[in-house]
Amino acid sequence: MRQAFSSSARDGRKATQECPCGFFGDSTRECHCSPPQIQRYVSKISGPLIDRIDIHIEVPAVKYKELRGASAIEDSATVRERVLRARMRQSARFTGEKKIFANAQMPPKLIRKFCAISDEGEKMLENAITRMGLSARAHDRILKVARTIADLDESASLQTRHLGEAIQYRTLDRTYWA
Ligand SMILES: [Zn+2]
């Protein structure tokens, strides 16, 4: 899977960067940019490029208090174990397929084979595609990401909740290319 999207590469600032001032969507500071300014800023990341990225989510700037707070997060060893198990599921899945080791590499034929969804899921996906105006490529990407979410969940079948999560990871489509 490709890396999560970060729009801060250009100027090195962290957190959400959806406008010139950098505070659009920030809960602690006010953004004074105009809608056209924001649109222009985001348009630099073109639709086709966004299409090629598996996951993009908006990450609000973390407040200092939250940064210091001891929240119950998983330690990285636990996460690592889960990721390794998901990778093992994937290599088992693609035994016999040449040069394919991971969900991200599935061609359309294998997507159809391994990413079967229920009628309910089908409806949800169709809805999302229409609402967000997604391309066929984005459609396939959602299914592949959903398959990986199911693998991390140690679920043999691709369930509607996995699909729903994958759809949520297309926030830039939803916000700017709907
Ligand atoms: Zn701004």
Instruction: Read off the pLDDT of residues 84-115 as tens digits, 9 standing for 90 and up.
Output: 999 999 999 999 999 999 999 999 999 999 99
Q: How far is the CA of 21 from the centre of ligand 1 (A)?
A: 4
The set of residues, in sequence order, having a beta carbon less than 8 Å from that of 118 and lying 6+ positions away, is 159, 160
Q: How confident is the model at residue 6, as a pLDDT?
A: 40
Q: How far is the CA of 16 from the centre of ligand 1 (A)?
A: 10
Give the Cβ contact number of residue 162 at 10 Å.
Answer: 24
Q: How far is the CA of 23 from the centre of ligand 1 (A)?
A: 5
What is the DSSP track for 106-129? --HHHHHHH----HHHHHHHHHHH
Q: How far is the CA of 30 from the centre of ligand 1 (A)?
A: 8
Q: How many CA atoms lie within 13 A of 17 on its CB side?
A: 16
Q: How far is the CA of 31 from the centre of ligand 1 (A)?
A: 4
**pTM: predicted TM-score of the whole model, two decimal places:** 0.69
Stated as kind and residue range, the H or E segment containing 164 is helix 160-168
